[in-house]
Amino acid sequence: MAVNEQLDGFVKRGLEQRLDRGRMEQALLQAGWPPDQVRKALAAYVDVDFPIPVPRPLPSATARDAFMYIVVLGTMVLCAYQFGALLFEIIDRLVPDPLDSPRNAAASNVGIRWSISTLIVAFPVFVVMSRLVNRAARLDPTKRASRIRRRLTYIVLFIASCVVIGDLTTLVYYLLGGEVTLRFFLKVLTVGGISGAVLLHYLWDLRAAEDEPETWTA
């Protein structure tokens, strides 16, 4: 959310007159301003001893940054999907179904090879690009709060949340029908575990960026 111009002007004038930040915050909250907007307005200026308010660098992202974020998220989703598919095949072998035909066994071998091949290629790309993104964020912490990064992160969070909700709903549905088998339970646990790990990871990433002022510059 961008900082309101009226709010920003008030904070800037207050800082120019050497008013205490705490007093300004209390006055704004009493006036009915949302706490998150007040916090961002105050955080937009660095708390240093200088005759005029010093603005904090605004977060931004270049086309290169956007490309790196998309590659990281894309390879992460691909690795998560293929890792889940691989675990599904392993579960099918550990808990076999007597009705499985030899044709299903052959298809399982193909599926395992595809999953392993994809992970061998995609996972190193994910690791390398993640390190590059994290290194860039360490050099310029404002990149964590860039518009493109937040948008992509929220998209992943939405997908992961839908998967977790759907996974739990499916489990409850079959539990109520008394149709849960060990094979089914392990697959539900696999989907929930992978999507839950992704959800927690990106929630942590958003938490790390929440103190950075947001901008609408991509």
Interstrand relation of 45-46 and 54-55 (parallel, antiparallel or unpaired): antiparallel
Query: What single string gives the DSSP state of each residue in 15-44?
Result: HHTT--HHHHHHHHHHTT--HHHHHHHHHT
Specify the pLDDT at position 48: 82
Specify the pLDDT at position 217: 39
Q: Quick one: DSSP state of residue 58?
A: P
Q: How many residues does the chain have?
A: 218
Tokens representing 45 are: 């200026």
Whole-prediction pTM:
0.67
Specify the pLDDT at position 201: 86
Distance CA 41, CA 135 (A): 27
Specify the pLDDT at position 7: 87
What are the pLDDT digits (tens) for 134-186?
A: 888 787 777 777 778 888 888 888 888 888 898 888 888 888 877 778 888 88
Specify the pLDDT at position 113: 92
* Domains of the chain, residue spans: 5-55, 63-209
Contacts 24+ apart (CB under 8 A), 197-200: 198/76, 198/80, 198/156, 198/160, 199/157, 199/160, 199/161, 199/164
Mean pLDDT by 10 residues, the chain (218 residues): 76 89 90 88 84 78 84 91 91 77 71 92 94 84 76 86 87 79 87 89 75 44
Distance CA 54, CA 59 (A): 16
What are the pLDDT digits (tens) for 55-66?
A: 877 666 678 888
Specify the pLDDT at position 216: 38
